[in-house]
Chain A
Amino acid sequence: MLKPENLFAKSGKHSPSRLILSGLVLLSLFAGIFSYFSFSSDSEFRLFPSPIHASAASEQDASYYFDIVSQNINDILIWKIETEGASDLQDLIDTSFADDPISGTNQNYITSIIQNPYIDADLSKYISSLGQALDSAVASEEGIFPTSLQKSLATLKICIDHENAKKPAEDETKDHELSDYVNRSTLDTAINHTIGEKGIMSYIWGLYMLDTCRFSYDDVNRYDYDEVIETLISYQCSDGGYTLSGDVGDVDVTAMAMQVLAPHVPSPLRSAWFPIDSLVVESVSASREFLDTHQLEDGDYESFGTRCSESTAQATLAYASMYNGFLIPVRTDMLSERRLLDGLLLYKQEDGGFAHTFGLPSNDMASSQVLQALTAMLPADGSGSINAPMIRQASDIKPDPGSKGAGKGNHAGALRIIIPVAFSAIAVGAGVFFTIKRKKVIHLVSAILIAALFTGVFFALDIRSKSYFENRESTVLLSSSDKNASEITFTISAHTVTDEEIYPPKTLYVAEDSTVFEILCEVCRTESIQLDYEKNSVYGLAYIKGIDSIYEYDHGDLSGWMYRVNGELPNIGCGYFKVKDGDTVEILYSTNIGRDLGDD
C-alpha cells in the first residue's frame, strides 16, 4: 500500500528503504545539477538577467546615436510606468510622483521629463503637491534635510518655469513665481539655513538651488554666491576631485560639483573679470582631468571600488554641463567620443530599467540618474532626426506593446516564483509533520532535499506560458530598420505531401550569423507553428523531427524534413549552417531522402 510516510522511511528503524531513498535523492540532485548546466549553456535560459551590451562608439552616425539614446529613454520610462502600475506617463506624474514629491528619485524623473524636448507633460498637479509637501515638511518639528529642501526647491522652480513657458504668447496673466506655491518661511529657511549646514553636499545643492531659483537681489546678493563657490572649491582635493571625506577624489561628488560649477565658467568672449572666475576655471579644468583619467576601459566609472551606473550617469551630466558652461563646443560629439553611452548601457537590464551594478536587478535610483544622463545627451532644442520610438506625448500609451513583455512578463514571473514556493511549502510542511510525528530529523532533511530538487527541475526546464513564450521578444528575427540584420527569404513547405502552405515565402530580417535552426525555431515560435526537434545544446547539433504535425517517417521510411539554401541541399546540420544576406532558405518535406527535392 502506498502511503506518504512510506516514502520517507519504513516503520522499521534500520530499513534499507532509507538507504535507497537517500541514494535516489542524491542521484536526482546530481541529475538536476547536470541538467541545469546543460541548459544554462542554452542562451534561452538564464538565472539572472544579464546586462545588454550595445556598441554605440563603433557607429559614428549621429542619428543612430540619437536613436539608441531615445530608445533607452523610452525603455526606462516604460519600465517605470509598468513597475508603478500606471497607465501612461501623465498618470505616473499625477499619481506616483505627486504622492511622494520630495523623493529625490522622483525629482530626477521629473527634471528629465521636463528637459526632454520631445516630451510634453502637464505638471500642475505635481507642482501644487510639491509646494504643499515642502511647506508642511519645513513647518514640522523634525524639519527637512537641508540638501533635500535645496533640491526640491530647485525642482519646483524648474517645473514652474516649464509651465510658464507653455503659456501662449498673447496670454497677459503674470508668470507664476515660487512664492505662489510655497510659504515665505520655507524660502527663508532654504536661503538662510541650508547652505553649509551639511558639509560639501549642502554647498553643491545650495549652489544648484541659487542658480536655478534666481532669487531676487533682496533675498541673496553676489557676495553670497562668491562665498558659496569659494567654500565649495576649498573642498577640492589635490588630485582635482571632490570627496565627502578623506583626501582622494570620488567620481560621484566630483561630477556633481562640476555640474554646479561649470555654469559659472565665464564665456570665452569675456575675460576673467572677477578673481572668482579664474578660480572656477582652474577648478573645473582639474575636475575634468580627474574624470578623464578615472574613466574605465568600458566607458564607465567606479565609485569606492564598485563600478556603478550612477557614477557614469553623473560623469555624463558633468561633461554635458561643460557644454552649457562654454567649455566644449559640440556636446554630442564629445559625449560619444568619451564612450559614455557604452558605459551606461552596460547596466541595462532586459526589463528596460538600469541596475546599480552588475548582477543586480533594475533599480529605481540608478534608472532615474541614467535617465537624466540620457536626456542630457539629446539635442537640447529638439532638433535632429530621431527614428526610434519615444514617448512624445505624456498621454501616449506604450508605443510598442510587444517589445518589453509588459504585463504578461510580470504575470509569468509571478508564476515562476509561486510554483517553486508552493513545492517547497508542501514538502517542508510534510517534512515538519513527519518530524513531529516520528521525531526524526531525517524526514525534514529529505523533504527539503525533495523540495530543492523540484524547484531546480522546474527552473531547469524553463516552463513558460503559451502567451509569454510566443510573444517574447526575439533576438534572431529583427525589424527591417536594424542595421545588423541580414535579409533572407524564408519558407516552410511540405508540397510533396500536402497542398497546404505551412509558411509561405516571406522576407525576414535576421541577426547576423544566425543558423537555419535558430531561424526556424523563432519563426515557429512567433507564428505558433508546431515544431518538434532534438537538440544537443553542447555541440549545437539539431535534428528536426516534425513541423506542423508532419513527422519524419509519416510518408515512408525515407521521409523527413530537409532544408535547401539557394537551391542546394547543404551537407551539414541545420544547427551549423549560418545564413548570409540575400540567402533563400527553404525548409522542405521529402518523401525520398531529398531525391524529390532535386538532390542527386
Chain B
Amino acid sequence: MPRYGIAIDTTKCIGCHSCRVACQNQNGLDYTETFNWIKDKERGKYPSYDKEYVPLQCNHCENAPCQRVCPTGATYTTPEGVVLVNKKTCVGCKYCMEACPYKMRIILHHEGIVVKCRFCIEMVREGGTPACVTTCPTQVRIFGDLDDPNSEISRFIAESGAEPLRTDLGTLPKIYYKRS
C-alpha cells in the first residue's frame, strides 16, 4: 500500500493560484471555499530582498490532531495515509478546525460539514494525479509514494532536504517543502 505525500518546491512557485481554482473545480467548491492557499513572505532589503510564495494545503498528518478531537469519528485516515472527512457522520462542530495547527480546514455553510484537501483520492485510485499537481505551470508540486525510496517524491526529498512545516509540533505531516 502506498503512503501518499506531496513535495513542494517554493523556489519555483510564482503565486499564480492555478492550484486553487483547479482544486475548486475538481471538488465543486464555490469561489469562497478553498483547500489551497498561497502565502507570500517578503524578506530583507534590496539587493538581498526576496519574496517567497508558499502554497498551503492539508498536511495529511500521520499524527493528525484533527482526527483525535473528532467526536463522531468522521475524520479518518485511509490505508494510503490520506486524511478524509466522512460527510455523513460529520456534524459540523468545528473541533477539528480548532485543533488543526495549520488551519487548513473550512466549513461548507450550506451543507454544515467541514471539508479540506482530499489528495483527489478518487482520481488517484484510478491512476490519476491530484488537480493541483497536474495544472501547475512550474511543476511546484510532486505527488507520490513516500514509502517507495525510488519514487520521484522520495528522491526529491532526499536530494533537496525538503522538510514539513513546523516539525516541532510532532504532527508528522506528509507535505514536504523545499524553500531555498
The answer to whether A and B come from one shared complex is no
Q: Which residues of A contact B (CB under 8 A)?
A: none
